[in-house]
Structure 1
Amino acid sequence: MREAIATTQRWVIHIESRLIAGHDGLNTDAINRLAGELATLHQRGLDVVVVSAGATAACAGPANAAPLPLHEAQALAAIGQIKLTNGWAQGLAAHGLQSAQILLTQDDLSHRKHYLNARSTLQVLLGKGVVSVVSENGTIASHGIRAGDTDSLGALVVNLVQADVYVLLTEVQGLLMPAAESGQADTFIDQAAAGDATLDRCAHDMTERLGFDVRSWLRSARLAARSGAHTVIADGRQAGVLDAIARGAPVGTLLTSDTHPAASRGRWLANQLPMRGVLEIIAGSYPGESDASGITALMVLRVEGVFQRGDMVVCRGADGVELARGLVNYSAQEIQKLRGQFVEAFSRQIGYVAEPDIISRENLVAYAAP
């Protein structure tokens, strides 16, 4: 399985605040070193999205040594976010990489329209070779800023960009099985299935001993596994750690997923979301299961229902047979104006182009031809 990591294409890398926090704010040396590691991955041709904690830590000092009321913590995050963004921008620029700032909350990714907007933005940035630095929008978020659980945001970004690998860079070499479980000294866990129940005892024991929440790492790894991504928990202070993981070296703890990303996303699309409308499409024009195309405006004959961008719709032939279903990039009213049109006409018809397809292939579950 380690060797399989070396063949993956898209990574989400979560960087804990403790790795980049200094006594009086950000540790720019640590950021610059990690930026160099990211540049190495970029040179390998990997797509990389960074999820960075540390906005509040950027304002570290005596005033916030103790837990703060929520609104004070949010205010500090607002100040620190600028410092964090600039730190990453300068660190990555030193290695010839362009960066972009993406501020999200977990609530954003539960809203389908926001989800699609964020996904489209990230896809464009990845296509341009830009390293997106995703941070929790601490000014309006409450969960992560209270619990410090930005790991979960990282796992949600894995689903957002359909990543193959989720790397959690921490201050430990990986997960350790406590002596009570192994019957001997604590044992380093090289590899395990993310869903392995014995890992819960391990995460609980490490949380009690280390004083920070290892259980959140495990929850995030399991969330990423449901999206089909493997997780590596590794020591972010180790020089060359990302390159070593990319080479398939036995670095950190590998938590494996038994779910294929496409299958996982297909089940989510097909079974978890309510249907908001129907598109009747030209018989024989719909994509098959192995087709790489989506549903274009040229395919659409008729629109039924009232729905918005990000809603789930059913695609049917004129005979009423369901052919596919997926998340639309345009509202029902907009699709009514766009049906039968080439993408070049979109701006003239509705004033903008969100996506070239009515339903993008990655947001579509197509069934085999009847």
Structure 2
Amino acid sequence: MASARRLVVKIGSSALTSLIGGLDTNRLDLLADAVEARMRAGSDVVVVSSGAVGAGLAPLGLTKRPTDLATKQAAASAGQLALAHAWGTSFARYGRTVGQVLLTAGDFGRRESHRNAQRTLDRLRSLGAIPVVNENDTVATEGLRFGDNDRLAALVAHLIGADALVLLSDVDGLYDGDPRRGKATFIPEVRSRDALDGVIAGTGGVLGTGGMASKLKAARLAADAGVPVLLAAASDAGAALGEGMVGTAFAARPVRLQARRFWVAHAAESHGSMHLDAGAVAAVAKRRRSLLAAGITAVQGHFYAGDVVDILDPDGKSVARGVVAYDSKELVTMLGRSTSELPPDMQRPVVHADDLVPS
């Protein structure tokens, strides 16, 4: 973390806003100070900032985070302007210009949008501006999804080839349980996914949509991209962006996923799902075999050959994602049938092992 030359810093809603006062510019200034110090030390920083909905609550007279999509988007619309202005004003103290970049996770699944986002971020940085990225909440077709800005930050880290990702929120790191409910052991470093066995991860608070579960998913995503992650409290931003000796560090995987497999696993939009029986789950998730029609018990959604779909176990838990070889209408006629029972043009795997990435 201390030697990373290119960083993505994600800042959670709870670090910037409150239900009563809305956007807290004093806290935002302290975070900008920490980012500026890191940049003066020679690093290149992209900020992923939550807080648009939280910043819009007070101006609209709302006393709690809305649950319906229209009100969420209205709050984001009002708050996004205030949030961008606050970041611009704060960094202007150092003579720096801010460029706002509004994205959704879906933008990373479309090649043209992906390239446009990459070019915009690269050009902003080459012009000496600080990119401040947020989800484009006001037009999100699937609503404000759980943990989306944590995931978005990890995708941005992959997009720009970051050396590290720093997640700043209201928690000081990872514990093996909820420290507010009694004894819980702090985990300073996570070297592999196996180290997370037994860890209980909660969901978001009153202002944010993420929570520890979201951050763990983001850390896994970044690890697959070869990017290490530091999870720390926003109040420790100076130390986190300094020597990095606070919070919990997540190691990147030794060999990053190939670009296509990373796209299938994390960036591509899912167009449907398939439920498998226990035998097919074992073959796909444990033995990394191709998925055959015989092991599929149900199909959900409307998709076409070449689309990415989620692959679920009998309980509905995701075990993999993959590029499907058949349209959903074709697949319905193939369920549970062995390869020898199918017509010659339907005897190839439903998802080939090369196009399948276990969760």
TM-score range, shorter chain: 0.5 to 0.7
The C-alpha deviation readout for 1:245-270, integer Å capped at 9, x for no partner, is xx2x4211000012456x7448759x
Residue in 2 aligned with 1:199? 196
Alpha-carbon distance between aligned partners in 2 of 1:137 and 1:272, rounded to the nearest angstrom: 19
Q: CA shift at 1:63, angstroms? A: 2.2
Q: Rate the CA distance shift 1:200–1:125 in 2: closer, same or farther, 3 A.
A: farther
Aligned length: 260
Q: Is the 8 A contact 1:174 1:188 kept in 2?
A: yes
Within-5 A mapping of 1:119-158: 119-143=118-142, 145-158=144-157
Contact (CA 8 Å) 2:239, 2:245: kept in 1 or not?
no
Secondary structure in structure 2 of the residue aligned to 1:63: coil
2:101 is the alignment partner of 1:97: no
Q: Is the 8 A contact 1:10 1:163 kept in 2?
A: yes
Aligned to 1:42: 39
Unaligned runs of 5+ in 1: 274-370
1:162-311 equivalent positions in 2, closer than 5 A: 162-178=161-177, 185-193=183-191, 195-199=192-196, 201-204=198-201, 206-207=202-203, 213-238=211-236, 240-244=238-242, 247=243, 249-259=244-254, 264-265=258-259
Q: Residues of 2 paired with 1:133 and 1:272: CA distance?
A: 22
How far does residue 238 in structure 1 lie from its aligned partner after superposition? Answer: 2.4
Report the alpha carbon displacement of residue 213 of structure 1 after superposing the two structures with TM. Answer: 2.3
* SS of corresponding position for 2:144: helix
Task: Please give the TM-score of this superposition, normalised by the length of structure 1.
Answer: 0.64
Change (3 A) 1:109 1:239: closer
Look up the match of 2:52: 55
Classify 1:44/1:221 alpha carbon distance in 2 versus 1 (closer, same or farther; 3 Å).
same
2:2 is aligned to: 6
For the residue of structure 2 that corresponds to 1:133, the secondary structure is strand
Quote the Cα distance in structure 2 between the aligned partners of 1:179 and 1:124.
Answer: 42
Contact 2:2–2:241 (8 Å) recurs in 1: no
Deviation per residue, 1:143-174 (Å, 9 max, x gap): 46243531111111111111110100011110
Letter in 1 for 2:214: S
CA distance, structure 1, for counterparts of residue 203 and residue 195 of structure 2: 15
1:294 equivalent in structure 2 = none
TM-superposed CA distance for 1:272, in Å, is 11
CA distance change for structure 1 residues 185 and 73 in 2, over 3 Å: closer, same or farther? closer
Structure 1's 87 and 260: CA in aligned 2 closer, same or farther, altered over 3 A?
farther
Correspondence for 2:327? none
| Matches of 2:204 and 2:92, distance apart in 1 | 39
Matches of 2:106 and 2:246 in 1, distance apart? 33
CA distance in 2, matches of 1:32, 1:208: 24
TM-score by length of 2: 0.66
Q: Matches of 1:125 and 1:95 in 2, distance apart?
A: 17
Q: Map Cα deviations across residues 213-234 of structure 1 (whole Å, 9 max, x no partner).
A: 2101000011011111000000
- Residues 87, 153 of structure 1: CA spacing in aligned structure 2 closer, same or farther, 3 A cutoff? same
SS in 1 for 2:117: helix
Instruction: For 2:3 and 2:17, locate their aligned partners in 1 and report how far apart those are by CA, in whole Å.
Output: 32
Tell me which amino acid in the other structure corresponds to 1:57: G
Give the match's secondary structure for 1:201.
coil
d(CA) in 2 for partners of 1:222, 1:272:
10
Tell me how large the CA RMSD over aligned residues is.
Answer: 3.0
SS state of the match for residue 57, structure 1?
helix
Runs of 4+ residues over 3 Å off in structure 1: 206-212, 263-269
Using a 3 Å threshold, how does the CA distance of structure 1 residues 98 and 226 change in structure 2: closer, same or farther? same
Cα 1:54–1:259 shift into 2, 3 Å: same
Distance change (3 Å), C-alpha of 1:142 and 1:10? same
